[in-house]
Amino acid sequence: METVAKLAGPRLAGAKVVGAKLASALAAILAVAVALFSMRYLLPGWPAAPAMVAQNPFAWPWLPIHAVLAAVALLLGPFQFWRTPKGGRRGWHKVSGRLYVVACLLAAPSGLILAFGATTGPVSTAGFGTLAVVWFAVNALGWRTAVAGRFAEHRGWMIRSYALTFGAVMLRLYLPIAPLAGFSFEDGYRVISFAAWVPNLILAEIFLRSGPAGRVMTWRRVSQPAG
């Protein structure tokens, strides 16, 4: 029995590492896809812009500013977490980390402005508006803790930050599901203005508070034997 338990332990840990790797890879692919598609706001006429979003009274100039900056953040995020920054990678981590935070800090106020013009009304304004304020605050704290050299705290704030940034992906996954759950498009959109990010933040918090927090990010070191 003891031998079975001894064998099952490492196997379970191995399966968890593989599962975490696959989930991270899928999340990164979705993030890159949504980010690249969002870059279409750089093109004249904003091809494939949803009509209700294009009707937002603050769409010009805030929509392209917001969409492109937020897309830069969404694109850079996965590469920040992919590996623990060590040696030569520290330089890249610093440069792209600064770019990520600057993109978030500029995309958040433009998101807040757009939230006030949301065509689905005050509930969506509240959902996206709160997200914009929290997103800004979390990134500001991430920046401050990095500059102060408090890297454990910095890591926590950046995990929260990307959980919020990833809301852009969740929103686009939930939109086609909402009508299947019986919501009209407008009601679904209102619910999603909160549902796209609140659960992400709760999951990030659970992850950060659970004992082995961080192992997923450093699976290389965990899965490779020492020496």
Helix axes 167-177, 185-195, angle to 10 degrees: 150
Query: Distance (Å, rounded) from C-alpha 139 to C-alpha 114?
Result: 19
Query: Distance (Å, rounded) from C-alpha 133 to C-alpha 105?
Result: 10
Query: Distance (Å, rounded) from C-alpha 85 to C-alpha 65?
Result: 30
The reply to whether 192 sits near ligand HEM by the rule CB under 6 A is: no
Among 76, 101, 106, 115, binds ligand HEM (CB under 6 A): 115
Stretch of residues binding ligand HEM (CB under 6 A), selected from 9-17, 67-75, 146-154, 214-222 = 67-75
Among 30, 76, 101, 132, binds ligand HEM (CB under 6 A): 132
Rounded to the nearest whole angstrom, what is the least distance from the CB of residue 64 to ligand HEM in the complex?
9
The reply to whether 168 sits near ligand HEM by the rule CB under 6 A is: yes
Among 64, 97, 167, 188, binds ligand HEM (CB under 6 A): 167
Among 106, 118, 138, 146, binds ligand HEM (CB under 6 A): 118
The reply to whether 56 sits near ligand HEM by the rule CB under 6 A is: yes
Both ends of the chain: CA-CA distance in Å? Answer: 30
Q: Which CB sits closer to ligand HEM, 31 or 146?
A: 31
Q: Up-side HSE of residue 68: CA atoms within 13 Å toward CB? A: 12
Q: Up-side HSE of residue 87: CA atoms within 13 Å toward CB? A: 2
The reply to whether 128 sits near ligand HEM by the rule CB under 6 A is: yes
Stretch of residues binding ligand HEM (CB under 6 A), selected from 46-54, 85-93, 145-153, 199-207 = 46-54
Task: Establish whether the linkage from the previous residue to 44 is cis, with ω within 30° of 0.
Answer: no
Q: Which CB sits closer to ligand HEM, 114 or 158?
A: 114
* Residues of the shown chain interacting with ligand HEM in the complex, contacts defined by CB under 6 A: 34-35, 38, 49-50, 53, 56, 63, 66-67, 70-71, 73-74, 111, 114-115, 117-120, 124, 128, 131-132, 135, 164-165, 167-168
